[in-house]
Amino acid sequence: MPTSPPDLPSDFADVAWRGRILRHEIAWVGLPDSRYPTVVFLHEGLGSVALWKDFPERFCRANGLRGLVYSRYGYGRSTPRPLDEPLPFDFMHQQAWEVLPALLAQLGIERPWLFGHSDGASIALLHGAHHDDTLSGIVVMAPHIMVEDIGLAAIRQARSAFLEGALRERLARHHLDVDSAFWGWNDAWLDPAFAAWDIREEVARIRVPLLAIQGEDDEYGTLEQVRGIARLAPQTQLLILPGCGHSPYRDAAGRVIAEAGRFIVEHA
């Protein structure tokens, strides 16, 4: 049975997509009267508004920014994805090129900064490749631009933890339908056909300011993910964090708040 996550200071925005209405959980954070463009936070593959915890609020308050946090279709309190509806091979492309533009238009957000983590970072990059002229810039943490064996191994470990450990119980606090959220992500990444997923060609089209952040101990990807971005988009600045894993906003929150915030303000 679906389990309701705890109460959050969130609202909803309905978006028409492919003949249906998707309800998206949203939360505004930071300074409502900020003079800078809105920062839109895009969560990881198993993330949601709640799983960001207080990072977006802290980030925006520390840097004088306004932010929007939202849960994608199938996550958090957004419309759950039916279990018999698998995530397609191009699910990140669909989110970047179809759903995110519709959500931004619905909320009247113009020329935002995108701040993405993991799958959300890849969605931010894909959006930037096709909507470069509508963005102020992009910050990505632990992005994926190609599939690596290290990432697939970590995703298999997550599968075991969900089936045999406490991961399902932990995630159930944050998703209306935890099984839909988990299996959609896990099955998509572990589908043998997904090994060919590669967005380097799209990344090379990005022209806006770009900051790419990754921990040296990221269990889901090597540093080639961010170094590859820097080669493809030469305007990229890199922030590589020692002693940090796949979630820099948790493992190195202070540095991310300071340095990503500085990057956004300096490019305003």
Q: Is residue 175 over pLDDT 60?
A: yes
Beta bridge partners of 198: 146
Q: How does DSSP classify residue 75? A: S
Confidence check: pLDDT of 8 > 60 = no
pLDDT of residue 1 exceeding 50, the answer is no
Alpha helices in 191-252 (DSSP H): 200-203, 224-232, 248-251
% helix, strand, coil for the chain, step of 5: 45, 20, 40
C-alpha 219/C-alpha 150 separation (Å) is 7
pLDDT tens digit sequence for 109-119: 999 999 999 99
Pick from 144, 145, 147: which is nearest to 192 by CA? 147
Burial (CB < 10 A; 0-12, 13-18, 19+), residue 267, is middle
pTM score, two decimals? 0.95
**pLDDT(108) > 80:** yes
Q: For position 2, what pLDDT does the model report? A: 36
Q: Output the pLDDT for position 249.
A: 98
pLDDT (tens digit, 9 = 90+) per residue, 36-77? 999 999 999 999 999 999 999 999 999 999 999 999 999 999
Which token pair is 267? 């490019």
